Structure 1
Amino acid sequence: MSRYYFDLSNGVEPVRDEEGQDFSSRSEVAREVARILGDIARDEMGDTGSGTISLTVRDQSGRTVSRAKLTFSNEWTDPDWAPGND
């Protein structure tokens, strides 16, 4: 079992993970990356219409072992459906 740290950047202010989590395989780390990015996209990006979030994974020695990026874009093609026209 190894400890991994998930540092988040959403273009505003980076958030460094100081606690980390224990995982026994790369597959578990990859699933956690997908879960984190999905949660953030669902909770924070829906109102903005677009944005990019990235996650850097560090191992217990501080070495970067993975980088993931998710770009979200929602373009309204019908102005009657744009946010604020509810």
Structure 2
Amino acid sequence: MMTRYYFDIRDGQDLYPDEEGLDLADQKAAEIEAARALGDLAKDLPPLDERQHMAIEVRTMSGPIFQAAFVFEIARLKQ
């Protein structure tokens, strides 16, 4: 039986809800879809100094399931 998963996009503090969702076989398929979507979003990101955290929050009609996220941090190495 297929489950409908919704892939809401969180960009910094903004949330863009997925109104349609996708019917997928299981959570593993939803995890793969979330990872692919993050990769696609990363292609259009601004330069490093302007980036915020970005995530895809995955839910079903029953509620939140998991979050896949890019976390941008610049660590300055001691020289």
Matching residue's letter, 1:48: P
Percent of aligned pairs with the same amino acid: 35
- Deviation sequence 1:47-77 (CA, Å, 0-9, x none): 321331011111123x1011121124579xx
Paired with 1:4 and 1:39, the residues of 2 have a C-alpha distance of 18
Aligned to 1:7: 8
CA-atom RMSD in angstroms: 1.9
Aligned to 1:66: 66
Superposed, which structure 2 residues align to 1:7-46 within 5 Å?
Answer: 7-43=8-44, 45=45
Change (3 A) 1:7 1:71: same
Gapped runs of 5+ residues in structure 1? 76-86
CA contact (8 A) 1:7 1:14 kept: yes
Higher Rg: 1
Deviation at 1:28, TM superposition (A): 0.8
